[in-house]
Homo-oligomer: A and B are copies of this chain.
Amino acid sequence: MTKVRIFVTYKPSVFDPQGDTIKKTIHALGHDEVADVQVGKFFDLTIDAQVDQVAKTVKEVAEKLLVNFNMETYTYQVMEEN
- Residues from chain B with Cβ under 8 Å of A7 in the complex: 42
A46-B26 Cα distance, complex, nearest whole Å: 12
- Of chain B, the residue at the smallest CB distance from A25 is B65
Question: What is the total number of residues of chain A having a CB less than 8 Å from a CB of chain B?
Answer: 30
Asked whether, in the complex, the Cβ of B66 is within 8 Å of the Cβ of A29, the reply is no
Question: Which A residues are closer than 8 A to B by beta carbons?
Answer: 1, 7, 22, 25-26, 29, 31, 33-49, 57, 60-61, 64-66
Beyond contacts A29-B60, A34-B47, A36-B45: 11 other A-B pairs, Cβ-Cβ < 8 A, are: A25-B65, A26-B61, A26-B65, A29-B65, A31-B61, A33-B57, A34-B61, A35-B46, A37-B44, A38-B43, A39-B41
